[in-house]
Amino acid sequence: MPELPEVETIRLGLSKKIIGLKIKGVEVIQPKSFLGDSKRLQGRKVLKVWRRAKILGVELTPSLRAKRSNPNSEIASLPSAPRNDVVLLFHLKMTGQLIYDNGKRFIGGHPTPDMLKALPNSHTRVIFTFSNGSKLYFNDQRRFGWVKVMQSEELRVQNLFGRLGPEPLEKGFTWQILKNNLLRHKNMPVKVAILDQAVVSGIGNIYASEACFDAGIDPRTKVGQMIDEQFKALHSGIVKSLKAGIKYGGATRAHFVDAEGRKGYFLDYAYVYGKDKKPCKVCGSEIKKIQLGGRGTFFCPACQG
Ligand SMILES: [Zn+2]
């Protein structure tokens, strides 16, 4: 599953491609993959592409209907006009792909051999057509991913993101917040605790191992035994490893391809993830792999003592 840096990489790439384009049509091939009314998207222009944890949001202009109902006094009618702006949400889950095609392809998500061949293919679930003729394909082999249309107001009310912890790359994420959230899991190994999306959002198995390495903390350390210096170091380790992930275009093994069609290669730069039995880049000791909470966990016994 893509982690925060991979989804952020798709957001950055897709932003360059689709902002300003108008949606001309939406074809839903697999109803299970599409939640909401696809007709609500027609004629709307893409204003912004944002990310919250691993969810991508495409903000669209309000529909023209509100304006048409008040043709004579557009300005005066604005405050009372119904707020009918909608947002389009994507979650790629395990095998989702977003492929933007304007003659050239830009691909984000789980790569498969068929993504460079004719589209749509047997895994295409939804096709968006823009007014300039370009298309955005949502493909998803295993169909756990989804596309959702929601009213912006509905999104606020439903509190879709309410269970998610803070965004690690935003200013509001401080080491004290990380500490307070982690302390809900006093008896848990720290590496397992930071995978809880309510503690901090968007961290998966790769960046959890990398963050502990950067902080010099043994991933098996119980949260309740950590001192403030370690919470500070872990906070900085989380931010640093996520930024490195974005810089190198994402990681998710060799399967991930970003919006420019580049394969993610962060793993070449990773210090511990996937490096078992290899020498530590810092001290030369052998990197160890253990199981923690059922997940492969990598660390350097010397640097993380
Ligand atoms: Zn080391």
Q: What is the pLDDT of residues 105-131, one digit of tens each?
A: 888 887 777 777 899 999 999 999 999
Compute, in angstroms, the gap from residue 113 CA to the centroid of ligand 1.
37
Which residue's structure tokens are 């917040």? Answer: 177
CA pair distance 78, 75, nearest whole angstrom? 5
Q: What pLDDT is recorded for position 265?
A: 61
Q: Which of 3, 6, 8, 210 is catalytic?
A: 3
Residue 257 pLDDT? 54
Report residue 17 as tokens. Answer: 């491609």
Q: Specify burial of residue 39 (Cβ count, 10 A radius: 0-12, 13-18, 19+).
A: exposed
The 3-class SS string of the chain reads CCCHHHHHHHHHHHHHHHCCCEEEEEEECCHHHEECCHHHHCCCEEEEEEEECCEEEEEECCCCHHHHCCCCCHHHHCCCCCCCCEEEEEECCCCEEEEEECCCEEEEECCCHHHHCCCCCCCEEEEEEECCCCEEEEEECCCCCEEEEEEHHHHHHHCCCCCCCCCCCCCCCCHHHHHHHHHHHCCCEHHHHCCCCCCCCCCCHHHHHHHHHHHCCCCCCEHHHCCHHHHHHHHHHHHHHHHHHHHCCCCCCCCCECCCCCECCHHHHCCCCCCCCCECCCCCCECEEEEECCEEEEECCCCCC
- Indicate the pTM of the whole model: 0.81
pLDDT at 110: 76
pLDDT at 81 over 70: no
- The CATH T-level fold of domain 175-299 is Helicase, Ruva Protein; domain 3 (1.10.8)
Which of 57, 10, 63, 56 has the alpha carbon at shortest distance from 41? 63
Going from N- to C-terminal start, the domains of the chain cover 4-158, 175-299
Could you give the CA distance from residue 140 to residue 114 in angstroms, rounded to a whole number?
12
| Percentage, residues of the chain above pLDDT 90 | 66
Q: Which of 17, 44, 51, 54 is catalytic?
A: 54
Please say whether the beta carbons of 171 and 139 come within 8 A.
no
Q: Which percentage of the chain shows pLDDT scores above 70?
A: 86
Mean pLDDT across 200-211: 93
What is the 255 CA–ligand 1 centroid distance (Å)? 27
Least confident span in 3-12, 108-117, 212-221, 278-287 = 108-117
Q: Among positive and negative, which fits the CA dihedral 72, 77, 83, 87?
A: positive
Q: What is the CATH number of domain 4-158?
A: 3.20.190.10
* Residue with the larger pLDDT of the pair 220 and 163: 220
| Catalytic choice (22, 52, 143, 295) | 295
Q: Are 14 and 260 in contact (CB under 8 A)?
A: no
Q: For residue 101, count other CB atoms closer than 10 A to its CB.
A: 16
- The alpha carbon of 33 and the centre of ligand 1 are apart by a number of angstroms equal to 45
The model's pLDDT over 188-205, given as tens digits with 9 standing for 90+, comes to: 999 999 999 999 998 989
* Active-site annotation holds for 54: yes
pLDDT of residue 74: 44
Q: Which of 81, 203, 58 is nearest to 138 (CA)?
A: 58
Is residue 75 pLDDT above 70, yes or no?
A: no
pLDDT in tens, 242-283: 998 888 766 544 344 555 555 556 677 889 999 999 999 999
13 CA from centroid of ligand 1 (Å): 35
Structure confidence at residue 106 (pLDDT): 83
32-70 tens-digit pLDDT: 999 999 999 999 999 999 999 889 999 999 865 544 444
Distance 3 CA to ligand 1 centre (A): 25
Q: How far is the CA of 282 from the centre of ligand 1 (A)?
A: 5
- CA of 214 from ligand 1 middle (Å) equals 10
What's the confidence (pLDDT) of residue 252?
47
The catalytically annotated residue of 2, 5, 168, 219 is 2
pLDDT recorded at residue 53: 87
Q: If you measure from the C-alpha of residue 230 to the centroid of ligand 1, how many angstroms do you get, rounded to a whole number?
A: 17
**Inter-residue contact 178 to 239 (CB < 8 Å):** no
Cβ-proximal residues to 29 (8 Å cutoff; 6+ apart), any chain: 120, 124, 125, 126, 127
CA angle 73, 77, 78 (to 5 degrees): 125
pLDDT averaged over every residue in the chain? 87
CA 83, CA 70: separation in Å to the nearest integer? 14
More confident residue, 268 or 174: 174
295 belongs to the catalytic site: yes
